[in-house]
């Protein structure tokens, strides 16, 4: 359906009217809605997996592992934790505020939120974020991706069946519809996608001073550093799994590998064997292997692969009709080449050799570029790894592992710099969709005139003396 600005404005106005009734404020009511959402997700699991297969070619296992299952885990955490998270903070008002004794800080919803979700994990990054908005007591207008058409069509029907439109509603369409949404006055915006569009969202939000959370991939991509003391078989196995997942279309996926030149050749051989073991000799024809989201995404990947054709050491083949492109290793690649200075979002995997003794020089070069969303280190040198993970700027990461940091309950998922701002998952999502509101409760008795005029005359010394005692 095509939307007009007036139609979108009417949707936002209806949600604002509903929010102002106070219906979304009670914690019990929010928990009821989250339970309703969870029940609906479980009931529609097969339909969700079918849509993901149509859009991205995902198998049922991968669809459940990466989209459906994490949604249920996330909602469960919110249901269990919401009462605790939402409890008002109690503070002693202090002697300066006498006779007031108690001041409370409430965690209040923003109001009407806008959630702009991407194509790569259309279920998780739509329903999961909307659940956080609901947890915080907000309403939500969703602008889902036009690229993942089957998933968006499912989500539109799904939300319409589960919730009234004045509470949760989904708007479909392209960039023009997104811009019409951004032209509205929302109370909170949550965007997941590319840094370039993130800048546009931030600029539009600034016109109304709307607070924004951005979950971005990072302009220069996520690094994986493999040192000479790494367990090569284990490292290759984990990297291959992750690069195959969603055909590399993951914001926290490995964009490029830096490998110590001392072990580069055996590492590449181990990685080849890991890919073959997991997806077979002909990944392009393997029905378990996901596809690229659009023809243009395929063409972009294939064109870049052709530019590096002479340095492809594994893969490099594709099928335009099915939009499958094999996992492709490119070696050697210089750290200053263009391919390792922007996010790829595809199965290409450039490999940069470095001298292990000069690893800190490598890390300095990485640190000078825009902050990535993720970082991965493979080494037995835990002292070095811990130092690097504490001094580099990135959203999250792993030592001797890939991606599963985002599966840990209770920890935030976030970026920094060009990889995003704000955080969500569990309590962090609740915090992202609420703001503090301080309320001091005054008293009508023992209300001494210490704060009031007159300040001069014979009371000056007495008042100053008492006030100074309050500060001690």
Taking only the tens place, the pLDDT of each residue in 272-308 is 999 999 999 999 999 999 999 999 999 999 999 999 9
Q: What pLDDT is stored for residue 286 in this prediction?
A: 96
Confidence of residue 458 (pLDDT cuts 50, 70, 90): confident
Q: What pLDDT is stored for residue 53 in this prediction?
A: 98
C-alpha 56: how far from its chain's center? Answer: 19
Whether pLDDT at 374 is above 80: yes
Query: Would you please indicate which residues are annotated as catalytic (active-site) residues?
Result: 215, 251
- The answer to whether the beta carbons of residues 382 and 259 sit under 8 Å apart is no
In the predicted model, what is the mean pLDDT of residues 201-222? 95
Whether pLDDT at 68 is above 80: yes
Q: What pLDDT is stored for residue 1 in this prediction?
A: 66
Q: Average pLDDT, whole number, for the chain?
A: 96
pTM of the model: 0.95
Higher confidence at residue 190 or residue 471?
190
Q: What pLDDT is stored for residue 472 in this prediction?
A: 60
Q: What pLDDT is stored for residue 444 in this prediction?
A: 85
Place of tokens 């965690």: 107
Q: What pLDDT is stored for residue 115 in this prediction?
A: 98
Question: Cα-flanking dihedrals φ and ψ of residue 280, to 5°?
Answer: 90, 175
Nearest to 305 by CA among 282, 339, 267, 332: 339
* pLDDT one-digit tens code per residue, 114-123: 999 999 999 9
Confidence of residue 468 (pLDDT cuts 50, 70, 90): confident
Q: What pLDDT is stored for residue 471 in this prediction?
A: 63
Nearest to 293 by CA among 221, 198, 213, 193: 193
Nearest to 140 by CA among 131, 151, 152: 131
Long-range contacts of 58-65 (CB under 8 A, 24+ apart): 58/246, 58/290, 59/287, 59/288, 62/245, 62/246, 62/288, 62/290
Alpha-carbon torsion angle 323, 326, 327, 328, nearest 10 = -110
- Please return the burial class of 331, using the count of CB atoms within 10 Å of its CB with bins 0-12, 13-18 and 19+: buried
- The answer to whether the beta carbons of residues 284 and 317 sit under 8 Å apart is yes
Tokens of 261: 């030149």
Task: Catalogue all structural domains in the chain, each as residue range(s) with its CATH number.
Answer: 5-218+421-435 (3.40.605.10), 222-369+374-414 (3.40.309.10)
In the predicted model, what is the mean pLDDT of residues 29-47? 98
* pLDDT one-digit tens code per residue, 124-141: 999 999 999 999 999 999
């Amino acid at each position: 359906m095509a939307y007009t600005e007036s139609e979108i404005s009417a949707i936002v106005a209806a949600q604002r009217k509903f929010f102002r009734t106070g219906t979304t404020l009670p914690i019990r009511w929010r928990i009821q809605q989250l339970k309703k959402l969870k029940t609906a997700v479980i009931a529609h699991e097969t339909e969700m997996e079918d849509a993901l297969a149509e859009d991205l070619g995902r198998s049922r296992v991968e669809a459940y592992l990466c989209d459906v299952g994490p949604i249920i885990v996330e909602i469960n955490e919110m249901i269990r934790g919401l009462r605790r998270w939402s409890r008002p903070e109690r503070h002693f008002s202090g002697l300066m505020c006498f006779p007031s004794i108690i001041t409370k800080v409430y965690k209040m919803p923003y109001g009407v939120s806008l959630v702009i979700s991407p194509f790569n994990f259309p279920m998780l990054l739509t329903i999961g974020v909307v659940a956080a908005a609901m947890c915080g007591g907000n309403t939500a207008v969703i602008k889902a991706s036009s690229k993942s058409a089957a998933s968006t069509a499912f989500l539109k029907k799904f939300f319409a069946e589960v919730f009234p439109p004045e509470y949760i509603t989904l708007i479909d369409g392209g960039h023009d519809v997104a811009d019409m949404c951004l032209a509205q006055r929302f109370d909170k915006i949550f965007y997941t996608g590319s840094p370039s569009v993130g800048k546009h969202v931030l600029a539009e939000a600034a016109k109304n001073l709307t607070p924004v959370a951005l979950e971005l991939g990072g302009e220069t991509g996520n690094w994986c550093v493999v040192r000479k003391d790494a367990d090569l078989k284990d490292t290759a196995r984990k990297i291959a799994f992750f690069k195959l997942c969603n055909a590399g279309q993951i914001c926290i996926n490995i964009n490029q590998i830096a490998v110590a030149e001392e072990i580069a050749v055996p590492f590449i051989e181990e990685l080849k064997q890991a890919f073959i073991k997991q997806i077979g000799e002909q990944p392009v024809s393997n029905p378990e292997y996901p596809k690229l989201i659009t023809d243009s995404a395929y063409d972009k990947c294939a064109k870049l692969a052709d530019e590096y054709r002479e340095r492809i050491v594994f893969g490099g083949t594709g099928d335009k009709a099915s939009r499958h492109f094999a996992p492709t290793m490119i070696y050697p690649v210089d750290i200053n080449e263009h391919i390792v200075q922007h996010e790829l979002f595809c199965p290409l995997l450039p490999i940069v050799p470095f001298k292990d003794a000069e690893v800190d020089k490598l890390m300095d070069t990485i640190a000078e570029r825009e902050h990535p969303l993720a970082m991965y280190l493979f080494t037995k040198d835990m002292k070095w790894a811990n130092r690097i993970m504490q001094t580099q700027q990135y959203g999250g990461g792993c030592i001797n592992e890939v991606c599963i940091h985002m599966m840990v309950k209770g920890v935030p998922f976030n970026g920094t710099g060009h990889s995003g701002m704000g955080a969500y998952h569990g309590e962090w999502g609740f915090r992202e969709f609420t703001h503090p509101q301080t309320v001091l409760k005054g008293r009508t008795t023992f209300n001494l005139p210490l704060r009031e005029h007159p300040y001069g005359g014979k009371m000056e010394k007495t008042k100053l003396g008492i006030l100074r005692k309050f500060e001690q």
